Amino acid sequence: MALLATLLALSAPTLLHSFKQRKLEQEATQLLAVTEYARNEAISKGVPMNVWIDAESGSFGVQASDGYEGDEKREKYYSLDPEIHFDPLEAAPDQEGHMILATFDPEGTLSLESATFIHLVNRAPDGISLQQTEDGWGYEIVKEEK
């Protein structure tokens, strides 16, 4: 019994770190899916679509760019896990005060103002990033090396 307790005590920090890293990867995957959704909506509706964040509330989503009417049913809103946050990002706010990470043009390309790098971190502090693909058509997940 003592041996089992010792093994558990030694492995608990590693397991906890693994669970935190997994949450971080899940949030990055969800953010990547939102960027892909925005690109698909821009192409199918012929309307520029924004991927935005609200760093204070830990929320993010997709909606039509300011000045364009979009189908409100196509807008998406998500919240980050409370243990995870966006690294500070300099980006232009929209009319609602959200920071615009990416704008997909109706052709499916990213606008020049789109962030090239989006960084998510947890309290560990482990991090994971989304960066623009080389062809500039979207984003990909980049894990940090330790």
**Paired residues of 73 in beta bridges:** none
Q: What is the pTM of this model?
A: 0.81
Cβ atoms of 96 and 63 within 8 Å: the answer is no
Give me the domain span that covers residue 110.
Answer: 2-143
For residue 98, pLDDT beyond 90: no
**Which 8-state DSSP code applies to residue 95?**
T
Rounded CA separation 81/58 (Å): 8
Percentage of the chain with pLDDT > 70? 82
- Residue that wins the pLDDT comparison between 116 and 68: 116
Give the least confident one: 15-19, 40-44, 59-63, 138-142: 15-19
Domain count, the chain: 1
Give the mean pLDDT of 118-143: 87
Q: What is the pLDDT of residue 11?
A: 62
The CATH code of the domain that includes 71 is: 3.55.40.10
